[in-house]
Chains A and B, each alone.
Chain A
Amino acid sequence: MTISNDELAGLVEPTRAHKRVYIDPEVFELEMERIWGQAWIYIGHETQVPKAGDFFTTNINHKVPVVMVRDKNGAVHVLHNRCGHKGAKLVETRQGNARGAFRCAYHGWTFQHDGSILKIPNEKGYDNTGFDIKDPCNNMQKVAQQQSYRGFVFATLSPDAPDLETWLGGSKDCLDNLCDRAPEGEVEVAGGVLRYEHDCNWKHIMENLNDTMHPMVVHQSVVQSAQDYIDTLPPEAVKRRSEAEIILPFGGSYEDFEDSGITGFRYGHHYDGGKTSIHADYTVDPEYHAAMVKAYGEERTRDIYSFNTHNTCYYPSLTIKSAVQNIRVVRPVAVNKFVVETWSFRLKGAPDFMLQRTLLYSRLINSSASMVGPDDLEVYRRMQEGLESNASDWVEFHRQYGQDKDEGDRVVGGGTSDLDMRTQYAAWKAYMLQEAYV
């Protein structure tokens, strides 16, 4: 190991982080091993693989290829995407159906959907060689641990990780809220995926999600452009447009964002909002509301609506918008490159309008061709380039330091505080020093 634990420990202080965490390729490699190799990583949603043999492939960190697949008994597995023979990836495409079995494109070894080996062509050549086809080491290997929560499938390469619900802690309220917003209490992936290449360090997006000091600066241009045009239109023409409800709150004041609050959890999870957020004033579709009241009753429906978060980050790989029903997944590639996937969800039992609004949101805010995401990426890139400067070694996060309130399982602070940064770097340090699960 080229970087000692003492050196790593010195990269993070309570209110600042050393620039090496963003630009040093060796630190990145260690993050892949110690953060992405230990934390629960979001793989996909069970509804991406509805039928037996359906699969979805991804990487757990920047390298390790895995496949999520449903077997004939309905169970979903996360397997290493590697043939038990010579190590070739068994599945090359992003998604599809493997019908009876996975078949290696090289020597034709076949594997069942739970990973167990099915057949080796011309097997008699192995007679009396000491090779045992029944030895599980020849199977497609299961990842160390795999669990799902309300259909959201996570996997970890660490046998030491606590169970998923313990790891999610109080932040799982936000996954619950996303699902509870469905009259039937379940969601399903719908409308495809957007992939957006970011040429900067993966932490820039995780650290931006609840940075509420940036929207009024970075997104001032789109908010003003929208407002300038809307002002030329008759009010009744604007009333019907979800676009206005979605874009304009990005121009909220410092006071608005301060009121929304930030909540941090162990393992680096955090969300902003709760009582209110920039999604809180969306029009409630009457047909949707009727379906919700029928399913839950008035009081419970109000409760579900009233928990309104903006972004919830499940450090390091997943961020969700419960109130919008879309999620973004971070897939690291290199120290200065990652891909963001944006997935949208249908609320089961809700009218089509709800999915259409979710997709509109994903397109307006998260598309590589949107007027919001590219301005975020622009500032991430400027950090990536600026941090190469020798002018200073440090990135600071002091805002409202000393005012974070410890409430036992969570820490709560002002919406414009850097509590989210402090939460993430506490987890970063624990993972990197391999103390997270001690």
Chain B
Amino acid sequence: MNAQVDLHVVEGFLYQEAGYLDRPDLESWLALYTDDGTYWMPASEDQPDPFNHISHFYDDRVLMEIRKRNFVHPRAASKDSAVRCSHLIGNIRHAGSSEQGDLIITSNFQVVMFYREEQRVFAGTYEHHLVPSGDSFMIRHKKVNLINPEAAHKSIIIYL
């Protein structure tokens, strides 16, 4: 454990990110990511990479920018119904450094999603790769490990 990592600051940052997704405010959320930032939700457990195996999401900046525009597009029928989420994050741990020297933070999450007259629950672990930026961070990579990645999911129209 690296004693220099202030988990209170990390925690505050994760809450800030979750708050943008709760509303959702994709413009502010996207501003937290580095230019080479990626968001990954594997479709199976222990999936080694996002390229040689199918994933639910694997977005780089380009796809995030397209998704941000699509999310508010007036002709995106699946977005006519509002989506609201409530993220709970806990068990925040410092899990070392990535090859690029980023801070690896793991946490547990539970997300209740309200969409189309229905509440659904998602749960799992997050892995954030954080780059220090001023007195906060930027996200270079976020991996969302669902506890049920292989399940038949209904439409997931917002990042978890």
A352-B52 contact in complex given A197-B153, A374-B157, C-beta closer than 8 Å = yes
For B73, list chain A residues within 8 Å (CB): 221-222, 224-225
A226-B66 contact in complex given A194-B56, A359-B53, A369-B41, C-beta closer than 8 Å = yes
The prevalent SS among residues of B at the interface is loop
CA distance in complex: A193, B73 (Å): 29
Q: How far is the CB of B47 from chain A (nearest CB, A)?
A: 8
Question: B77: which of A195, A226, A375 is its contact (CB, 8 Å)?
Answer: A375
Tell whether, in the assembled complex, residue B53 and residue A221 are in contact, meaning their CB atoms are under 8 Å apart. no
For A247, list chain B residues within 8 Å (CB): 66
Instruction: Say whether B69 faces chain A, with CB atoms less than 8 Å apart.
Output: yes
A378-B78 contact in complex given A225-B70, A339-B152, A369-B156, C-beta closer than 8 Å = yes
Q: How far is the CB of A423 from chain B (nearest CB, A)?
A: 27
Tell whether, in the assembled complex, residue A375 and residue B57 are in contact, meaning their CB atoms are under 8 Å apart. no
Tell whether, in the assembled complex, residue B54 and residue A344 are in contact, meaning their CB atoms are under 8 Å apart. yes
CB-CB contacts of A369-385 with B at 8 A, as 1s and 0s?
Answer: 10101110111011000
Instruction: Say whether A229 faces chain B, with CB atoms less than 8 Å apart.
Output: yes
CA distance in complex: A220, B70 (Å): 10
Q: How far is the CB of B33 from chain A (nearest CB, A)?
A: 15
Instruction: Say whether B108 faces chain A, with CB atoms less than 8 Å apart.
Output: no
Tell whether, in the assembled complex, residue B53 and residue A229 are in contact, meaning their CB atoms are under 8 Å apart. no
For B116, list chain A residues within 8 Å (CB): 381
Tell whether, in the assembled complex, residue B52 and residue A368 are in contact, meaning their CB atoms are under 8 Å apart. no
CB-CB contacts of B111-152 with A at 8 A, as 1s and 0s?
Answer: 000001000000000000000000000000000000000111
Tell whether, in the assembled complex, residue A229 and residue B65 are in contact, meaning their CB atoms are under 8 Å apart. yes
For B105, list chain A residues within 8 Å (CB): none
Q: How far is the CB of A333 from chain B (nearest CB, A)?
A: 9
Tell whether, in the assembled complex, residue A374 and residue B78 are in contact, meaning their CB atoms are under 8 Å apart. yes
B154 to A, closest residue via Cβ: A197
A359-B51 contact in complex given A221-B70, A221-B73, A243-B63, C-beta closer than 8 Å = yes
Q: For the complex, count residues of B whose C-beta is within 8 A of A.
A: 36
A196-B76 contact in complex given A243-B62, A356-B52, A359-B51, C-beta closer than 8 Å = no
Q: How large is the interface on A (under 10, 10 to 19, 20 to 34, 35 or more residues)?
A: 35 or more
CA distance in complex: A247, B80 (Å): 21
For A355, list chain B residues within 8 Å (CB): 52
Q: Which of A192, A195, A247, A339 has the most chain B CB atoms inside 10 A of its CB?
A: A192
A195 to B, closest residue via Cβ: B152
Instruction: Say whether B155 faces chain A, with CB atoms less than 8 Å apart.
Output: yes
Tell whether, in the assembled complex, residue A375 and residue B76 are in contact, meaning their CB atoms are under 8 Å apart. yes
A222-B41 contact in complex given A191-B52, A191-B53, A196-B153, C-beta closer than 8 Å = no
A340 to B, closest residue via Cβ: B152
Tell whether, in the assembled complex, residue A362 and residue B77 are in contact, meaning their CB atoms are under 8 Å apart. no
Tell whether, in the assembled complex, residue A363 and residue B78 are in contact, meaning their CB atoms are under 8 Å apart. no
Q: How far is the CB of A261 from chain B (nearest CB, A)?
A: 27
For B63, list chain A residues within 8 Å (CB): 243
B interface residues with partner A (beta carbon < 8 Å): 41, 43-44, 47, 51-58, 62-63, 65-67, 69-70, 73-80, 116, 150-157
A interface residues with partner B (beta carbon < 8 Å): 94, 190-199, 217-218, 220-222, 224-226, 228-229, 233, 241, 243, 247, 339, 342, 344, 352, 355-356, 359, 362-363, 367-369, 371, 373-375, 377-379, 381-382
5 contacts between A and B (CB under 8 A): A368-B56, A369-B155, A369-B157, A374-B157, A378-B80
